[in-house]
Amino acid sequence: MIKIKNISAQETYKIRLAVLRKNIDLPHKFQGDEDNNTFHLGAFNKGKQVGIASFMKNSFGDFEGSQYQLRGMATLPEVRGMGAGKMLIEEAKRILKTQGVEALWCNARKEAVGFYKNVGFQTIGEDFEVEKVGPHYKMYYLVR
């Protein structure tokens, strides 16, 4: 059974490296990881950490009010399809709603767009290229 817990920035690094930065020469530590408003969630299956997501207070020009950016979300391949990613997003939505946040947004890798649409996000604008990573779409979810 998968459980979602608050974790530290350092606890995200192993999965960030293994999934998001595998064979990619980019930093796995993000600016804002240690900010007071940032929070990190971990998904655990039978006590083993299998997923991560970081949420940082950050504005995107198309929205007004309080906003957060989802960064560095990943699940280990062996648990994909078991609901860990959806559970991470649902817990973040719950937390952000209690804080009065109006919008959650992210830069989603092209291959993850379907997942984000399934958890209520919408795309905005055209795809764009992230150097060394590939095509992305800006996506958002209105928390209110």
Closest C-alpha among 71, 60, 66 to residue 112: 71
Provide the pLDDT for residue 89: 98
Q: What is the pLDDT of residue 132?
A: 84
Range of the domain at 132: 2-142
pLDDT of residue 30: 86
Residue 100 has φ and ψ, to the nearest 5°, of 75, 20
* Cα separation, 78 vs 16, whole angstroms: 15
- Domain CATH number, residue 35: 3.40.630.30
| Number of domains within the chain | 1
What is the spatial distance between Cα 86 and Cα 77, in angstroms, rounded to a whole number? 15
Asked if 42 contacts 75 with a C-beta cutoff of 8 angstroms, the reply is no
- 112 CB contacts (<8 Å, ≥6 apart)? none
- pLDDT tens per residue across all 144 residues of the chain: 899 999 999 999 999 989 987 777 776 788 999 999 999 999 999 999 999 999 999 998 777 889 999 999 999 999 999 999 999 999 999 999 999 999 999 999 999 999 999 999 999 999 999 888 889 999 999 997
